[in-house]
Amino acid sequence: DDDDDDDDDDNNDGDILCFLPTENDVEDAVAMAETALSAPSARPRTKPAVCLPLHASLPSRLRSQPFLPRTPEELRTKSRRIVFAAETSVAVPNASHVVDSGFVKTPFFDPSSGCRRSVVHPVCRTDADRRAKRAGNVRRGKCYRLYSEEYLRHSMVETAMSAPEIRRCDLTEAILTVKALGVNNALSFDWMTVPTAEALAYGLECLFALGVVDENTELTELGKEMVYFPTDPRTSRMILAALDMESRYYERGYGNDDDEDDDNDNDNPHDENGISAMTAKLIVGDIMTVAAAMQVRSLIYPPKNER
């Protein structure tokens, strides 16, 4: 419905790009399309086609296939590509037809429960127009919308899920960054888009529970260390706890691998603090893995035993 049908070749040539909401919808659509194309009744009246999925869970080799040049087999049979994409909007080369399902899956963080979830909802008008323009990148094309024009012009509005990402995500890491920049009151910070009060309150409560901020919402010594980690504050807190456990492990003498010490561990399975030697060895395995992965931390911030 975007361009007039002036040339039959423009309508019959070019690839097809279908926008679907979820990855399961993409896989089901690919299976249904391949079954329909391979049916004996469809072969005399259909052009050869190759169905390609496109979503984030695919391996990089398969995910990049719709953007690569055609294979020799596709050139020989003059096959058309039908790309089923679980994306809000994506541009595929040589696409002259777009099928818009009218739905999209958007990640959403619920501060009341502290859980992240993905919600399937109708697309907003901006995303619908952006999808339609994918049909005319390299040639005249058409967009087939699976909803009425009346809904597009009168009922399609900007939903809560199409709001800026800062109003849909967890603000714990953003608040920690703002605190590190010297802003004492994150609630009065001049955000480009003001986040919800519930999300800000949840972020501050989470940082306080992790020990990053104190009762006055000021950074603690632990919080100043966590600023240097390019990870989520929860992950940073676990890494620092693991490094502290490693230090305590060696302070108690579990780091010796001598046979004599092993014999003593077998004779006395518990130390004076009631900690099992086997449990300590199991813990230190995970700690050493984390410590090896985070060796770059010592280049940015000196460890505790060096301060």
Q: What is the pLDDT of residue 275?
A: 45
Amino acid at 12: N
Contact assessment for residue 85 and residue 26, using Cβ atoms and an 8 Å cutoff: yes
Q: What distance in Å separates the CA atoms of residue 122 and residue 257, rounded to the nearest whole number?
A: 61
Full pLDDT tens readout for the chain, 307 residues: 444 444 444 445 789 999 999 999 999 999 999 988 887 776 666 788 899 999 988 888 888 999 999 989 888 888 889 999 998 778 888 888 999 998 988 888 888 888 888 888 888 888 888 898 888 777 788 999 999 888 888 777 655 556 788 888 899 999 998 988 888 888 888 888 888 889 999 999 999 999 999 988 889 988 888 888 888 899 888 888 877 776 665 666 655 555 444 555 445 544 544 444 444 444 444 555 555 555 545 555 555 554 4
Question: Which residue from 23, 30, 1, 15 is spatially nearest to 104, judged by alpha carbons?
Answer: 23
End-to-end CA distance of the chain: 68
- Vertex 259: Cα angle to 255 and 260 (nearest 5): 90
Could you tell me the maximum CA-CA distance found in the chain, to the nearest angstrom?
90
Question: Which residue from 120, 58, 63 is spatially nearest to 92, judged by alpha carbons?
Answer: 63
Q: How many residues does the chain have?
A: 307
Q: Residue 26 to residues 73, 125, 297: CA-CA distances in angstroms?
A: 24, 22, 41
Crossing angle (nearest 10°) for helices 197-210 and 233-251: 0
Q: Residue 185 to residues 89, 209, 217, 284: CA-CA distances in angstroms?
A: 37, 18, 8, 39
Q: Provide the sign of the torsion angle of the four alpha carbons 100, 118, 59, 32, taken in this order.
A: negative
Question: Which residue from 97, 163, 104, 164 is spatially nearest to 133, judged by alpha carbons?
Answer: 97
pTM for this entry: 0.65
Residue 182 CB partners (closer than 8 Å, separation 6+)? none
99: Cα separation from own chain's centroid: 25
